[in-house]
Homo-oligomer: A and B are copies of this chain.
Amino acid sequence: MAPESASRQRIVKSTAVLLVDCPDAKGIVAAISTFLYSHGANILHADQHQDNEAGLFFMRVEFDLADFALDAENFAREFQPIAHRFRMRWRFQDTGKLARVAIFVSRYQHCLVDLLHRHQIGELRCDIATIISNHQDAQALAEFYKVPFHHVSVEGGRKQEAEGAQIDWLERSAVDLVVLARYMQILSPAFVARYPLRIINVHHSFLPAFSGAKPYHAAFERGVKLIGATSHYVTDELDAGPIIEQDVARISHRDQVEQLIEKGRDLEKAVLSRAVRWHLEHRILFYGTKTVVFD
């Protein structure tokens, strides 16, 4: 019951994020930070990671664009010599340009409800371009939040056709990121190839344990003492993509499968929403089949 003043106006600065990864070498940070400083960047956050065994370097810098002298195009041209010298992969992201997100959902709506409310109160900075479902259940919710709802039936044997319709709709909606919010269909390799490292799924187990179907039933059978959930990027191999986030909850012999499913819902919401947020905030880098998540 403690009173609290209404949330202050949030003044969103105009910022950019630079993401870099390359073989580790002396002088990388000096080169990048001197470059940014020389063009007037006011650094707001910076984080870096060196994997000394693998010889890799990762960096994320967020800086104020207010006094920054370069736009995206000029940045690319000016930064090119440094990128070349250190053999960098890099991305320059203007955070003011919001990603367009499609949420796929089947019948369970807890993740969808969670994502839509987080978006509404400003936790997820993106445009939710569309909700796509193989069921009608989520239509009312989509309308409440004024998000275009698109129903694509995925009946037996019509999966290819359905995916065609989905991709068509995604392209017309100019979608940058696909979020599978307990979408109960396996996407084909062709679909996945369209959105490489841009499809985030939540799997309702602590991967790699209990991949595949009915993980809560499998966890119950095995008699584990904790259940988990995992958010990850989707790749061709089922439940084997780079893990973004995981969490667990304690269970006991008192919990039947139904209770595992209930407790698991809260884990699913947590790990999926964090993954989406970190993706949108350009906090995730890759090495091999793994992720670096800058916090």
Bound Cα distance from A239 to B209, whole angstroms? 13
Bound Cα distance from A180 to B192, whole angstroms? 45
Segment at the B interface, from A33-41, A77-85, A125-133: A33-41
User: Is the beta-carbon distance between B37 and A45 smaller than 8 angstroms?
Assistant: no
Bound Cα distance from A227 to B82, whole angstroms? 37
Tally A residues with Cβ within 8 Å of B: 90
Tell me if A47 is interfacial: C-beta within 8 Å of chain B.
Answer: yes
| With known contacts A209-B209, A226-B246, A246-B225, A1–B180 Cβ distance under 8 A | yes
Bound Cα distance from A30 to B38, whole angstroms? 9
Bound Cα distance from A42 to B52, whole angstroms? 11
A113-B117, A144-B144 given; 4 more Cβ-contact pairs under 8 Å: A1-B203, A51-B253, A206-B228, A207-B222
User: Is the beta-carbon distance between B33 and A26 smaller than 8 angstroms?
Assistant: no
List the B side residues contacting A89 at CB < 8 Å.
none
Give residues of chain A (25-75) contacting chain B, Cβ–Cβ below 8 Å.
Answer: 26-27, 29-30, 33-34, 36-37, 40-53, 58
User: Is the beta-carbon distance between A49 and B253 smaller than 8 angstroms?
Assistant: yes
List the B side residues contacting A165 at CB < 8 Å.
none
Q: Which among B2, B26, B33, B50 is the interface contact of A184 at CB below 8 angstroms? A: B2
- Mark each residue of chain A from 250 to 271: 1 if its CB lies under 8 Å from any CB of chain B, else 0: 1011101010011000100010
| With known contacts A223-B290, A224-B243, A254-B295, A1–B206 Cβ distance under 8 A | no
Tell me if A190 is interfacial: C-beta within 8 Å of chain B.
Answer: no
- Mark each residue of chain A from 198 to 223: 1 if its CB lies under 8 Å from any CB of chain B, else 0: 00010110111111111100000011
Bound Cα distance from A246 to B224, whole angstroms? 8
Tell me if A93 is interfacial: C-beta within 8 Å of chain B.
Answer: no
Spell out A's residues near B (CB within 8 Å): 1-4, 6-7, 10, 26-27, 29-30, 33-34, 36-37, 40-53, 58, 107, 109-110, 113, 117, 121, 123, 140, 144, 180, 183-187, 201, 203-204, 206-215, 222-226, 228, 234, 238-239, 242-248, 250, 252-254, 256, 258, 261-262, 266, 270, 289-293, 295
User: Is the beta-carbon distance between B1 and A185 smaller than 8 angstroms?
Assistant: yes
| With known contacts A1-B180, A1-B234, A270-B266, A243–B256 Cβ distance under 8 A | no
Q: Which among B47, B248, B252 is the interface contact of A248 at CB below 8 angstroms? A: B248
User: Is the beta-carbon distance between A37 and B47 smaller than 8 angstroms?
Assistant: no
Within the complex, the shortest CB–CB distance from A8 to chain B, in Å, comes to 9
Within the complex, the shortest CB–CB distance from A250 to chain B, in Å, comes to 8
Bound Cα distance from A109 to B184, whole angstroms? 29
User: Is the beta-carbon distance between B117 and A213 smaller than 8 angstroms?
Assistant: no
Bound Cα distance from A58 to B47, whole angstroms? 12
